[in-house]
Chain A
Amino acid sequence: KQEVTQIPAALSVPEGENLVLNCSFTDSAIYNLQWFRQDPGKGLTSLLLIQSSQREQTSGRLNASLDKSSGRSTLYIAASQPGDSATYLCALNSGNTPLVFGKGTRLSVIA
């Protein structure tokens, strides 16, 4: 059974810092990996989707990487801003089954 782990559970950084969020998974037989952002009291917003054949995806200040062989993905946020404060979740898609989610990393960017 696929298990997804996100460490740390919470992270606090000063504004302007570059940071990396981590996601590890136990089963490398995946179709894709998706990173989401969740603001308090809101639903999840899809940030990036990396297909299993890809190594990374970029959107603005965000860069997500995928290393299936080591069961790891990272979300890199450049030049962090207070508006980046949110919970970031990763989720694995193993085919015709529902996504398996990590518990998320709660990020606080301090001005």
Chain B
Amino acid sequence: DGGITQSPKYLFRKEGQNVTLSCEQNLNHDAMYWYRQDPGQGLRLIYYSQIVNDFQKGDIAEGYSVSREKKESFPLTVTSAQKNPTAFYLCASRGDSFNQPQHFGDGTRLSIL
């Protein structure tokens, strides 16, 4: 079954620690996205990548970093510079046609210890 796998489902971060959220897709999609969701805030775009070895900042990139070394993988690192990382993180992907729907993973919930 094709889809997007996010891991872990729950993650806890200590003060000053970097943590990495995994996102893997087997849909052969070129474009991948990371969103942050807070209660009442809707979805906010962190980073996106439209092709391997290339990515762009979204609306709230500060304190986050990404890499896109493989088409199927787009990991997100939440660095210690992100002072309020507690949120629900969603990864998504889309094929190379603008008229293809965007697909989402089941999310990772990050909390501070």
Interface size on B (CB < 8 Å)? 24
Which chain A residues border B104 with CB–CB below 8 Å? 36, 43-45
Identify A43's interface contact among B48, B50, B99, B106, CB under 8 A. Answer: B106
Residues from 24 to 47 in B contacting A, C-beta threshold 8 Å: 33, 40-43, 45
Grouping DSSP codes into helix (H, G, I), strand (E, B) and loop, the B interface class, with mixed when no group exceeds half, is strand
Judge if A32 is at the interface, Cβ distance under 8 Å. Answer: yes
Residues from 62 to 111 in A contacting B, C-beta threshold 8 Å: 89, 91, 93, 95-96, 98-99, 101-104
Judge if A61 is at the interface, Cβ distance under 8 Å. Answer: no
Distance in Å from the Cβ of B20 to the closest Cβ of chain A?
Answer: 19
B42 touches A101 (CB 8 A): yes
Interface size on A (CB < 8 Å)? 23
Distance in Å from the Cβ of A82 to the closest Cβ of chain B?
Answer: 22
Tell whether A51 pairs with B43 under 8 Å between CB atoms, given A43-B104, A43-B105.
Answer: no
Which chain B residues border A103 with CB–CB below 8 Å? 40-42
Identify B98's interface contact among A42, A96, A104, CB under 8 A. Answer: A96
Judge if A21 is at the interface, Cβ distance under 8 Å. Answer: no
- Chain A interface (Cβ within 8 Å of chain B)? 31-32, 34, 36, 41-46, 49, 51, 89, 91, 93, 95-96, 98-99, 101-104
List of 9 A-B pairs having minimum Cβ-Cβ separation, nearest first: A103-B42, A43-B104, A46-B101, A44-B104, A31-B98, A101-B43, A43-B106, A49-B101, A43-B107
